[in-house]
């Protein structure tokens, strides 16, 4: 299991009514108590008692998790009816990294399914890993959960929805199958190993590993961050806020300082090292992802640029070398662009990942409960035109009645290449990934006016499956995504630069380059 993933999952909770009872008189049931109840004391069992042979030893399970550096609690299901039990289990899912549920609580799957539905509704709020233990047919349970929760992404090992991961295992009491079922737990002490192995497979990849390493670094840095942001700063923070033209800006400024502390934590933990060459080489899988003809062309380009480095390599080895250690240096910009174009064309299966990463680096989905119209918000008007709000945040608050908001049109590129000079890419949940350029002409700006709310800001209204802003003329604008702050600022800079340009009466021959192009020169030589 990867180190970063192992350190992220640090707590587990097992909810099961099939716990092994104690064997000594007066011994509390302890970790097997019902939730919210007092410890029970039991009498020693007699021969007439039915001693559960299926019960697992709570101490053995918790010790097995501790061996993996995971603290595990073991409890019996909460009391009450199905709805109350499901709500309580869903609450517990928010308090642990791994939740382990018996499929039958207490006598059928009704409560477990109800709890899973509630957890699914909350799955966008946090990462939730759930393991289901059952004596029933495991594959039938996977199918039943997938259908009941209306999940499209499920297989025989686990189900996924957003950041919700559900793994299903057979209990040791289930008869062994031929061939053996890899998801059968031979003994309860093996449960942690099964869960961690499946988590490792579910989150395999460089980016998940990188993200887990980053989250661990920030969590481990919290003592230092809290020491930095102590209450000794309260008075200074209050005074600074009072002196600002807009008091709401203080919180945003402090967030920037906090982000810089997190960035420092990532740097000190060497999280960037997750992308070192050796790691990339180990994870790189080119099987069934290359265009052989383009790979051959790429090799020719690389060989021409750096003969010593690439002369002894086969075409695919050249491709791998370029991906792991980067493109060779070149004095020729056109040669480098040609090589990069061939690198991209060699990997057609990378296209969707390229778009996803470009979108991630430029923008973010709308995560606020109610989107606010301010700098960086991308909307789509009734004419299906994408517009970027460039109203500074300080001018997007304290709106007494109504205010005009400048919206920059985005010129969408339906087809594009490396030479097109695109500005941004974002993900429209209704239309897919959109690549665009800023329209810099001031006369193309839209300036609709919007009414403010009691909070003196402009917010969207939820209608059907989207958020909508409505201007004073009754025109609707669908909230699509939000550009990251530096990209939004870049749009402002581009418009400002266009406004300050100076018109010159200059030689057109000089403006167009002053010398024949390589193509024209070669044609002239042929003549």
pLDDT tens by residue, 471-521? 999 999 999 999 998 999 888 888 888 888 887 787 878 777 765 655 555
The count of other CB atoms within 10 Å of the CB of residue 451 is 12
CA dihedral 518, 520, 524, 527 (to 10 degrees): 120
Give the span between the Cα atoms of 6 and 53, in whole angstroms: 32
Give the span between the Cα atoms of 327 and 335, in whole angstroms: 11
From the centroid of its chain, how far is CA 449? 35
Q: Inter-axis angle of helices 138-148 and 110-121, to 10 degrees?
A: 50
Identify the bridge partners of residue 154 per DSSP, sorted by sequence position. 159
**For residue 213, what pLDDT is reported?**
94
What tens digit of pLDDT does each residue of 354-380 get? 999 999 999 999 876 789 999 999 999
Give the span between the Cα atoms of 456 and 374, in whole angstroms: 12
Q: State yes or no: pLDDT of 20 exceeds 80.
A: no
Q: State yes or no: pLDDT of 178 exceeds 90.
A: no
What tens digit of pLDDT does each residue of 375-429 get? 999 999 999 999 999 998 888 988 989 999 999 999 998 766 555 678 999 999 9
Q: What is the mean pLDDT of residues 260-289?
A: 93
How far from 108 is each of 104, 136, 449, CA to CA, in Å? 4, 11, 57
DSSP-assigned letter for residue 19: B
More confident site: 75 or 254: 254
Pairing of strands 128-134, 164-170: parallel
Give the span between the Cα atoms of 59 and 52, in whole angstroms: 16
**Quick one: tokens of 125?**
């709020």
Judged by DSSP in three states, 456 sits in coil
Give the span between the Cα atoms of 521 and 63, in whole angstroms: 78
**Quick one: tokens of 300?**
């020719």
Q: What is the mean pLDDT of residues 66-79?
A: 90
How far from 216 is each of 92, 164, 241, 260, 266, CA to CA, in Å? 22, 19, 32, 16, 9
Give the span between the Cα atoms of 300 and 315, in whole angstroms: 9
Asked if residues 130 and 151 have their Cβ atoms less than 8 Å apart, the reply is no
**For residue 295, what pLDDT is reported?**
94
**For residue 170, what pLDDT is reported?**
87
High-pLDDT (> 70) share of the chain, %: 87
CA dihedral 470, 472, 475, 478 (to 10 degrees): -20
Asked if residues 60 and 189 have their Cβ atoms less than 8 Å apart, the reply is yes
Q: State yes or no: pLDDT of 80 exceeds 90.
A: no
**For residue 499, what pLDDT is reported?**
82
Identify the bridge partners of residue 186 per DSSP, sorted by sequence position. none
Phi, psi of 475 (to 5 degrees): -85, 140
- Confidence class of residue 451 from pLDDT cuts 50, 70 and 90? very high
Judged by DSSP in three states, 295 sits in helix
DSSP-assigned letter for residue 367: -
């Amino acid at each position: 299991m990867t180190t970063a993933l192992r350190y992220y999952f640090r707590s587990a909770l097992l909810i099961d009514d099939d716990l092994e009872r104690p064997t000594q008189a007066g011994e509390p049931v302890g970790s097997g108590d019902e939730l919210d109840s007092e410890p029970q004391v039991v009498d020693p069992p007699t021969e007439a008692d039915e001693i559960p042979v299926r019960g697992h030893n709570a101490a053995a399970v918790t010790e097995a998790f501790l061996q993996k550096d995971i603290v595990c609690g073991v409890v019996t299901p909460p009391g009450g009816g199905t709805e109350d039990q499901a709500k309580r289990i869903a609450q517990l899912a928010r308090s642990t990294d791994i939740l382990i549920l018996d499929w039958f609580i207490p006598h059928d799957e009704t409560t477990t399914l109800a709890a899973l539905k509630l957890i699914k509704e909350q799955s966008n709020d946090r990462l939730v890993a759930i393991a289901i233990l059952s004596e029933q047919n495991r594959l039938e349970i996977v199918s039943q959960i997938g259908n009941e929760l209306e999940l499209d992404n499920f297989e025989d090992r686990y189900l996924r929805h957003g950041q919700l991961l559900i793994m299903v295992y057979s209990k040791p009491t289930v008869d062994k199958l031929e061939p053996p079922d890899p998801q059968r737990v031979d003994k309860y002490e093996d449960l942690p190993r099964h869960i961690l192995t499946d988590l490792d497979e579910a989150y395999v990849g460089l980016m998940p590993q990188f993200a887990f390493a980053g989250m661990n670094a920030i969590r481990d840095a919290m003592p230092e961050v809290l020491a930095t942001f102590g209450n000794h700063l309260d008075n200074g923070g209050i005074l600074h806020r009072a002196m600002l033209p807009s008091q709401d800006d203080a919180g945003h400024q402090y967030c920037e300082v906090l982000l810089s502390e997190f960035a420092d934590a990532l740097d000190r933990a060497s999280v960037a090292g997750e992308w070192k060459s050796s790691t990339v080489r180990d994870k790189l899988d080119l099987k069934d992802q290359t265009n052989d003809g383009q790979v051959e062309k790429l090799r020719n380009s690389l060989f021409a640029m750096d003969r010593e480095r690439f002369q002894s390599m086969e075409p695919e080895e050249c491709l791998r070398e370029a991906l792991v250690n980067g493109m060779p240096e070149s004095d020729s910009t056109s040669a480098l662009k040609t090589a990069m174009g061939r690198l991209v064309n060699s990997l057609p299966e990378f296209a969707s990942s390229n778009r996803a990463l470009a979108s991630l680096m430029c923008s973010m989905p709308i995560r606020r409960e109610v989107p606010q119209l301010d700098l960086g918000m991308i909307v789509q008007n009734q004419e299906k035109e994408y517009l970027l709000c460039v109203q500074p945040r300080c001018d997007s608050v304290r709106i007494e009645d109504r205010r005009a908001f400048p919206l920059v049109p985005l010129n969408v590129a339906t087809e594009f290449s490396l030479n097109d000079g695109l500005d941004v890419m974002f993900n429209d949940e209704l239309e897919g990934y959109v690549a665009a350029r800023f329209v810099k002409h001031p006369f193309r700006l839209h300036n609709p006016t919007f009414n403010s709310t009691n909070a003196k800001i402009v917010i969207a209204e939820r209608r059907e499956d989207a958020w909508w802003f409505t201007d004073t003329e009754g025109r609707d604008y669908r909230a699509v995504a939000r550009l990251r702050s530096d990209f939004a600022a870049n749009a402002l800079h581009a418009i400002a630069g266009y406004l300050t340009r100076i018109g010159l009466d200059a030689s057109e021959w000089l403006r167009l380059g002053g010398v024949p192009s390589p193509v024209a020169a070669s044609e002239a030589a042929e003549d």
